[in-house]
């Protein structure tokens, strides 16, 4: 078993995954639990940190209800982060600006959603992110994030040696 690296040590880009949560995801656990499940965002982040530690990568997690803050965080990832896992929430369906920011930093992106958006209202079927992402995981509740993190770590594996 490889030694676990400190979460505070400065990571190489190939060892750091940024996980972004978009608007209203701070309400997970209380928000439409029939659609999004009972797990809170804090619990999801804790599960992600545990998995990251098992997979021997570092992660940063960030949630914002503000499009601009999400974009700033994407910009700040350039050159520092190996891959981005993003659940843009409702911005998935509307934000050209988040799409453009992801294109600008040229990092591999994995799109994650708790719900299967194709089983819901028709306006949720369109994503402005999917065609610029390496792939998409949806419909597995909190597990979608964990699967997306595994996929991100697999993508980084050749660069980590
Ligand atoms: C979501 C799906 C979006 O349509 C919705 O606006 C969300 C959450 C999901 O994770 O299933 O906020 O991204």
Question: For residue 93, how many other CB atoms are within 10 A of its CB?
Answer: 16
Choosing from 21, 36, 91, 145, the catalytic residue is 36
CB distance 22 to 87 below 8 Å? yes
Q: What is the pTM of this model?
A: 0.93
Average predicted confidence (pLDDT) for the chain: 93
What domains can you pick out in the chain, each with its CATH number? 4-156 (3.40.50.9100)
Q: Cα of 50 to ligand 1 centre, how many Å?
A: 24
**Residue 94 has which token pair?**
């509307």
Average pLDDT rounded to a whole number, residues 114-120 = 97
Q: Which residue, among 110, 21, 109, has the nearest Cα to 69 in the 3D structure?
A: 21
Q: Over the stretch 93-114, which tens digit does the pLDDT of each residue have?
A: 999 999 999 999 999 999 999 9
Q: Of 89, 94, 70, give the one whose Cα is nearest residue 26.
A: 89
pLDDT at 158 over 90: no
Where would I find the H helices in the chain? 33-36, 41-55, 67-77, 96-105, 143-160
Ligand 1 atom 10, closest CA = 113
């Amino acid at each position: 078993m490889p030694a676990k690296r400190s979460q505070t040590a400065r990571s190489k880009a190939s060892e750091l995954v940024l996980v972004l949560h978009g608007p209203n995801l701070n309400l997970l656990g209380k928000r439409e639990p029939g659609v999004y499940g009972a797990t809170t965002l804090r619990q999801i982040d804790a599960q992600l940190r545990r998995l990251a530690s098992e997979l021997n990568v570092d992660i940063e997690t960030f949630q914002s209800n503000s499009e601009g803050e999400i974009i700033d965080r994407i910009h700040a990832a350039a050159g520092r982060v190996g891959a981005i896992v993003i659940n843009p929430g409702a911005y998935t369906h509307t934000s050209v600006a988040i799409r453009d920011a992801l294109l600008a930093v040229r990092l591999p992106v994995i799109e994650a959603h708790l719900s299967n958006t194709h089983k819901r209202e028709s306006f949720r079927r369109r994503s402005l992110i999917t065609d610029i992402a390496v792939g998409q995981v949806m419909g597995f509740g909190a597990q979608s994030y964990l699967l997306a993190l595994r996929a991100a770590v697999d993508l980084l594996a050749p660069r980590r040696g």
